[in-house]
Structure 1
């Protein structure tokens, strides 16, 4: 089974459409969304409807911290600069879209893969995985061989040996990585809608469960148009600037 793993769309319609088109060209069998569909970007209602439509067609989606904050849950833990766009986003969504986001699960599984937004060891509190120690903590908390997370906005891959030694490396786009059966793995595919690794191209990943092959992907899109829409909506300009520079 070939999985497409998309995270942190952040109401960026242009990036989402580009990644969706690219993923379809790869002949995927299962679409997985790893959370944070709203906030920052100018098209939250469109993005929520896109997710709902894909779920109706068999996709899997988990809830992210920005999705959770739409109805006030955990919003106090978000940085102050998020509040204006979060308040604006709340007003753009219909009552049933609010309910949809609130009812998304925190975790999901596909074969031997665990999907969650932030981490596997404490998904409800949205802690980040900044390093191999935190990645190992998540891997130790589950029996699944593969864990896929979002939240960090930067592609990364961690592994854990049978002796408990953890390692990490930064993946190269479009280069398939065979995940050794002698290790367990935690992958962060990066952000579709707001990359923060210095590259404005949208991020996502493909995972083949038959060959245990993971491929990180970068998809150029019209980030200038996405930034223009943010400004036109009256949202904070730094959300637009991040799209132009990928940080």
Structure 2
């Protein structure tokens, strides 16, 4: 089965639409959403409704910290992010807010674990910033012995980590459109990058494809109408920094 894995959509309609189209063109048979459907961007109603429809059709979705903040006023963020969350609360319907609140923090399917941040303590929203963070997440799946690969987002930068049976870690930044074999003798952590707000200097939207038969993962980048997404942010009175950063991928 071909899986399309998306993270950090952040209410960016233009980016998510482009990624969905690209994934379907690549033969995606199942959609996975790793959270942060909302936050930062100007189209939260559309983004949540789209994911709700996908889940109704069999997709898997987990909750991100921005999704969580919609129903948890005590969870605060930096100024621009907080302004976007407060604006978003007023835009979403009660069913949409309930959908976000009821999303699980993790889901496991066969030998795959899906989480927004990392597996050792998903509710703490810690970033995977290097091999030590990745090792902590991979080791946390010891209690779930059949997990071969964990998928996460949160940091908005693509990366791929693995741990050998001797607990030796490797890491690298994958090259777009170059399949990587997820060897069975290692355990893997795939950080898929961000659909709606990349932060690796490349403004193109990011997602990943997994072929479960061949165990190959392919990281994908999709150009989209960044200018329109940025204009939508400005037109809705959200902090201009949220628009400016889209243009630079930061």
What range describes the TM-score normalised by the shorter chain of this pair?
over 0.9
Structure 1 equivalent of residue 129 of structure 2? 130
Please report the TM-score for the alignment, with normalisation by the length of structure 2.
0.96
For 1:149-188, what aligned pairs fall within 5 Å after superposition?
Answer: 149-188=152-191
Residue 220 of structure 1 pairs with residue 219 of structure 2: no
Structure 1 Cα separation of the partners of residues 118 and 205 of structure 2? 22
Query: 3-state DSSP class of the match of 2:161?
Result: strand
Query: 3-state DSSP class of the match of 1:75?
Result: coil
Query: 3-state DSSP class of the match of 1:216?
Result: strand
Structure 2 equivalent of residue 42 of structure 1? 42
Q: Deviations over 1:115-166 (max 9, x none)?
A: 0000011001111111111101111111211000010100000000100011
Query: 3-state DSSP class of the match of 2:246?
Result: helix
Point out the more displaced range, 172-181 or 6-15: 172-181
Equivalent pairs counted in the alignment come to 246
Query: 3-state DSSP class of the match of 1:141?
Result: helix
Q: Deviations over 1:41-88 (max 9, x none)?
A: 000000000000001111000000000000126623x22331111110
Query: 3-state DSSP class of the match of 2:38?
Result: coil
Structure 2 Cα separation of the partners of residues 219 and 81 of structure 1? 26
For 1:1-247, what aligned pairs fall within 5 Å after superposition?
Answer: 1-72=1-72, 75-76=75-76, 78-142=77-141, 143=145, 144-247=147-250
Q: Deviations over 1:80-108 (max 9, x none)?
A: 33111111011010111111100001111
The question of whether the paired residues in 2 share the 8 Å contact of 1:68 and 1:74 is answered with no
Structure 2 Cα separation of the partners of residues 84 and 122 of structure 1? 26
Please report the TM-score for the alignment, with normalisation by the length of structure 1.
0.98
Alpha-carbon RMSD: 0.9
Structure 1 Cα separation of the partners of residues 86 and 31 of structure 2? 29
